[in-house]
Chains A and B, each alone.
Chain A
Amino acid sequence: EVQLVESGGGLVQPGGSLRLSCAASGFTFNSYWMHWVRQTPGKGLVWVSRINSDGSSTSYADSVKGRFTISRDNAKNTLYLQMNSLRVEDTAVYYCARGRDGYNKVIDVWGQGTTVTVSS
């Protein structure tokens, strides 16, 4: 079974840092692009970042550029999101997601999400 399991969410003060992890299983992780998408409670979806299959290329939404870093460890089948200089508006559920085979920027598998709360 294809599965993505996020961890690392929690409560952090403004200006703080947090690292999210996403453990992948049930598919050949090193063949797929991966994404992070967030969702504010009661609000819509916001694409955050993506990384290609070998980790050599990354992209970020303007709202997180320079503060967040996406990375992956293909030997460990794990995706990461390092979040620095966190702001109250970064509070959201963060989803790890897989890019669809052949259409890498389309998301075909999602994790269950991990909640990040930025508050003093």
Chain B
Amino acid sequence: DIQMTQSPSTLSASVGDRVTITCRASQSISDWLAWYQQKPGKAPKLLIYKASSLESGVPSRFSGSGSGTEFTLTISSLQPDDFATYYCQQYNSYGTFGGGTKVEIK
């Protein structure tokens, strides 16, 4: 099974900060990776697919990069609406999620 490891598990940041979240796969998954945002009590929301493709309607401050085993999600300028938990998901084989990164207010 492919394991997905996210870091950090918690991130404290301020509005306007540039934020980077890392996701590592236990084996190569090419660019078969998606990123989701989840707020408390809500279902996740798709942000990025195929490692770097921005889902329609998602603000351009979100970007994704990487291939193989290492991937990043970057928020170029953190906005109040962005405080949430972020998950990566590989879909090269089945659909393993990472453990999540909570972005909280500093």
Residues of A within 8 A of B (CB): 35, 37, 44-47, 50, 59, 61-62, 95, 100, 103, 105-108, 110-113
Q: State which size class the interface on B falls in.
A: 20 to 34
Residue positions of B touching A, CB distance < 8 A: 1, 32, 34, 36, 38, 43-46, 49-50, 55, 87, 89, 91, 94-100
Q: Taking each of A45, A103, A108, A112, which has the highest tally of chain B beta carbons within 10 Å of its own beta carbon? A: A45
In order of increasing CB-CB distance, the 5 nearest A-B pairs are A47-B95, A110-B43, A105-B91, A45-B97, A106-B49
Q: Is the interface of A mostly helix, strand, loop or mixed?
A: strand
Chain B binding surface, main DSSP class: loop
Known: A108-B46, A111-B43, A113-B43. A45 touches B94 (CB 8 A): no
Q: How far is it, in angstroms, between the C-alpha of A95 and the C-alpha of B87 when the chains are bound? A: 15
Instruction: Check A46–B49 contact: CB distance below 8 A.
Output: no
Chain A residues closer than 8 Å to B89, beta-carbon distance: 45, 47, 106-107
- Complex CA gap A53/B99 in Å reads 29
Q: Indicate if the CB atoms of B43 and A44 lie closer than 8 Å.
A: no
A106-B99 contact given A47-B94, A59-B94, CB 8 Å threshold: no
Whether the pair B87, A45 counts as a contact (CB closer than 8 A) is yes
- In angstroms, Cα B94 to Cα A111, docked, is 20
B55 touches A95 (CB 8 A): no
CA A107 to CA B87, docked complex, whole Å = 12
A45 to B96, alpha carbons, bound, how many Å?
9
**What residues of chain A lie closer than 8 Å to B98, measured between beta carbons?**
44
Measured in the bound complex, the distance between the Cα atoms of B34 and A99 in whole Å is 12
Instruction: Output the least CB separation between A50 and chain B (Å).
Output: 7
Q: Which B residue sits closest to A60, measured CB to CB? A: B94
Residue of A nearest to B48 (CB): A106
